[in-house]
Structure 1
Amino acid sequence: MMPSALARSLPAQVSDTRHLAGDLAVWLIILAELLAFGILFLSYAFARTFDVALFNVSQSTLDLNSGAINTALLISGSWCVVRAVEAVKHDASTAGARWLLAALACGSGFVLIKLMEFSAKAQAGIDLSTNTFYMFYILLTGFHFFHVLAAMVFLIILLVKTRAGRYGKHNHHALETGAAFWHMVDLLWIVLFPLIYVMR
Structure 2
Amino acid sequence: MDILSRNPAVATRRVPGAEGIWVFVAFDMLFFFLLFMLFMTGRRTAPEVYEAGRLTLDPNYGGINTLILLTSSWLFVLALEAARGDRVQETGRWLMAALLCGVAFGVSKAFEYGDKLAAGLTPATNDFYMYYFVLTGFHLLHVIGGCVMLGVFWNMARGGAFNRQRLVVIECGGLYWHMVDLLWIVLFPLLYLMR
Q: What TM-score does the superposition give when structure 2 sets the normalisation length?
A: 0.95
Distance 1:108 1:99 in 2: 14
Encode CA deviations 1:100-127: one digit per residue, 9 max, x unaligned: 1110111111100000111111122222
Work out which of the two has the higher radius of gyration on C-alpha atoms and give 1 or 2: 1
1:1-200 alignment runs, 5 A limit: 5=1, 7=3, 9-10=5-6, 14=10, 16-200=11-195
Greater displacement, 114-123 / 70-79:
114-123
Greater displacement, 46-55 / 70-79:
46-55
Structure 1's unaligned 5+ residue stretches are: none
- Alpha-carbon shift at residue 9 of structure 1 (Å): 2.5
Distance 1:146 1:6 in 2: 48
Change (3 A) 1:90 1:121: same
Runs of 4+ aligned structure 1 residues displaced above 3 Å come to 5-8, 10-13
Distance 2:129 2:6 in 1: 56
- Alpha-carbon shift at residue 74 of structure 1 (Å): 0.3
Change (3 A) 1:91 1:135: same
SS for the counterpart of 2:25 is: helix
Encode CA deviations 1:49-74: one digit per residue, 9 max, x unaligned: 11111111111111100110000000
- Give the CA RMSD over aligned residues: 1.5
Distance 1:174 1:54 in 2: 44
- Alpha-carbon shift at residue 177 of structure 1 (Å): 0.7
Change (3 A) 1:126 1:8: closer
Q: Which letter maps to 1:89? A: R
Q: Which letter maps to 1:143? A: F
